[in-house]
Chain A
Amino acid sequence: MSSGTGNDVLGRGLRVLGKAIRAEPRLFVVSSLGSSLFGLLIVANSYVVGFLIGHVVAPAFAAHRVSAAGLALAVAALLGISGLRVASIFARRLGAGFMQFRLQARYRRAVTRRYLSLPPEWHQRHATGSLLSNAGSDVEAAFAPIAPLPFAVGTIVMLLGAMITLFATDWVLAMVGVALFPALFALNFFYSRRMSPRQIHAQRMRAKVATVAHESFDGALVVKTMGREADESRRFAVFVTELRDALVAVGRLRGVFDPLMESLPSVGTLAVLVLGTWRLQTGAVTVSEVISVAFLFTVLAFPVRAIGWVIGELPRSVAGWDRVQAVLSAEGDLRYGEGELPGDGPAELRFDRVGYRYAGGPPVLSEVSFTVPAGRTVALVGATGSGKSTIAALALRLVDPDSGNVSLDRVKLPDLSAAALAGASALVPQIPFVFDDTVRGNVSLDRPGIGDDDVWAALRLAQAERFTGGLPERLDTAVGERGTSLSGGQRQRLTLARALAGRPRLLVLDDATSAVDPRVEAAILGALRAAGTSLLVVAYRRASIALADEVVYLHQGRVVATGTHQELMATQEGYRELVTAYEKADK
C-alpha cells in the first residue's frame, strides 16, 4: 500500500514490467517492433512531406508545370507510409493488448488457484472483499502499464530517430530538439510524481464511499424501520464531498499538465521557423528541410505522452503487484498423504489429545480426546467459545492440530489423500454456502457416481424433497447467487443434502439446522440416525442433544466429561445449567 519514495516506486515498477516482459517476450517484441516502426514512420513522414514540398511542389509552382512522375512518386510515398503505419498500429496495439490480457488471465488463474489450495484458516484471516479485488482489480492494476508500454518503447525509438535526423539536417535546428525533448520528459516525470499521491488519495476515498454505501445498504432494513434515511444520506454525502474534492485536485493538476504538454511542441515548431529562416539566410539548410523539421515537432507531441502513461500507472501497478504477490507467496498449504481409507460403511472418528491455537492467540483446544464409534451419534455441547466449531474443522482436516492426532478408522488424517478424505467425511457448516448453480449442481457438485436418483434420495433425507419438488424446474432450477431465491432454512437443507449425497462415512453437523423449524429439525435428525452413518453434531437445542448416543461436554477448550445425556445431567452441574438455560429463561 505504501507508495514509498518516488524513485523506489519507479524502480519496483520497472521490475514488474521486466517480469511481464519475460513472461510474454514474443508479444512484447512484436508490439515494440510495431511501435518503433510507427515512431520512425512519423519521422519519415515529416521528411517525406518536407521533401515533396521542397522538391516536387515548389519547383512545380515555380515552373507552372507538373511532373507526372513527381506526383506519382508523392502519392506512392504517402500511401506507402500510410499502409506501413496501419500495419505498425496493428502490431503495436494487438501485441500490447494481447500481452496485457494474457498476463491478466495468467495471474487471475494463479491467484484463484492459491485461493483453492490455501487452507480455510488462511481465508479466515483475509477479508472477502480484498480477496475478490486481488483477483480482479489488483491483477488489472498490476498490468495496467502494459497497454501503453510498447507505445512508450516506440516513442523512445522515435525520439532517437528524430534526434539523429535533426543532427543530420542541421545542428542548430537539432538544438531545438535537444532543448525540447528533455523538457517533455521532465514535464511528464514531474506530472507523474505529483499525480500519484493524488490518485492514491482519490482511490482511497473511492473505497471509503463504497464501504459506507455497502454497509448502509446492508443495513437497509434497520435504516428503514428506524426512519433514518435522511441521516444516512447526510453521512454518505460527507464522504461523497471528500471524494469530489480529491477528484477535483486530480483535475487541477491535469489542467496544468495537459495544455502545457500540448503547447511545448508548438513552441518547438515556432523556434524552428525562426532559427530555420536564419539558417536559410546563411544557406545552411533548404526550405524543405525547415518545413520537415517544423512538421516533425507538431506530430511528436502525442506519442511522447505514452511515456507519461506508463510512468503514471507505475504506482498503481506496484501496489496491485504487491497484493497479488502476497497471495501467490502465501504459505501454509496442507500437504496430503497418499493413503486410502480401507473398508466401507460408517467410520470411527478419534481425537487423541488434540491441542489447537490460532497464530499468536491463546489455546482454543487442549488435550481433547474422544471417539465417535462407527455408526454412532455424538453431540458436542458447550458454551460459546468452548471450541466446538474448531473440533468440527479438525474432524475434516480443514485445519491441522498443533499437538495430538485426529484419525478416521485408525488412519491419521494427514496420511489420507485429499480424495480419500473428501470421500469419507462431510461437513455441514453453520452458515450454508450455496453455489450459483442449479439444485442438482449444488447437491451433486459433479462428483462421480451421483445420479439424479441419489440427488433425490439425499434431498428426501434432508427434508428438502417437498420444496425442491415445488420449484419451477425442480432439479434444474437455478438457485441464484448465494441461493438468494431460497430461505435460510431451505439453504441449510440443501447443503445438508449435498453432504448426504456423497454417502459420507462420517458426517459432521456444525449447528447446521439452526434456521430450520423445530419439527423439521427433529425429522432430519431422526432420518440421519436411521441412515446409520457416524455422526458428530454441534448442537444447542435439547432435542438434538437428546438424540445422541453420547455427549462430549466441553468447557473452555477442554473435555470436562463424556457420557450419555442422562449421566451428564446427573453428574455435571455446569452441563445441567447450560442445557436447562432455556427453561430458566422462560420464568
Chain B
Amino acid sequence: MSNHDPESEIESIRRILAGEKHLFHDLIRPCERPVFFMLMSILKNETEAEDAAQETFIKAYRNLHLFRGDAQFRTWVVSIARNEGLGRLRKLDNRREDSIDGGPPGSEEATGDFTPAILTSWREIPIETVEREELAALLREAIAALPEIYRNVVLLRDIEEMDIRQTAEALDISEGAVKVRLHRARALLQKSLAPKLKGFAPQRRGWFGRRA
C-alpha cells in the first residue's frame, strides 16, 4: 500500500500542485508513523507531538512546490518534522530547566558504556513465548531511555526501516554518524534489554557474567 516509488511520488506531487489536492492524503500516509514518532522522540508528549505532526503536514502541503525530488518525499517530510519538533523544544526550553538527556538534542555525542550484556540464555527471538504487549512495553521503555541522538537514528533506521542515506538526510547528519550512532544505540539496547528479556526465553544456560 505504501508507495515509495520516487517517480509516482513526483507524478502525484505534480498532480496535487495542478489542483488534485485530495491526492495529498495518500501521499502522506507512509509518512505518518515516522513523523509522529520523530516528534514523540523530540517532544516526549503525545498531545504536543500530535499537534506538531499536523503542523508538519500542513507545512509540507504549503511548501510542496519546493520539494525537488532529490530526496525521497518521506525523508523530506521527516526533516520538516524534526525542525518543527526542535523549534517547539527551543520554545519549551525557555520555560523550563534543561531536562533533556545530556543537553540539547544533537549537540554532542553522548558518552556511555557500549560494551554488550554478555548473556547466552537469550538467543532465540522469544515472540512465541511471551506476552506480546509486555515485551512491547519493555522495548518501548528501553528505546525511550536512549539519549535522543541515538533514539532518532534507531527510530528511522530500525523502526521505520529507512536506509542509511535517507536517515542521514532526514536528520541532517553524515552517513558515518548514522552508522556510529546506530551501532551505539543497538549496543545500549542490547545491554538494557538482554537481561530483562532473558526471563522470557527458555532458560538454557547460565549467566556468563561480564568479561574482564
Q: Do A and B come from one complex?
A: no
On B, residues with C-beta under 8 Å from A are: none
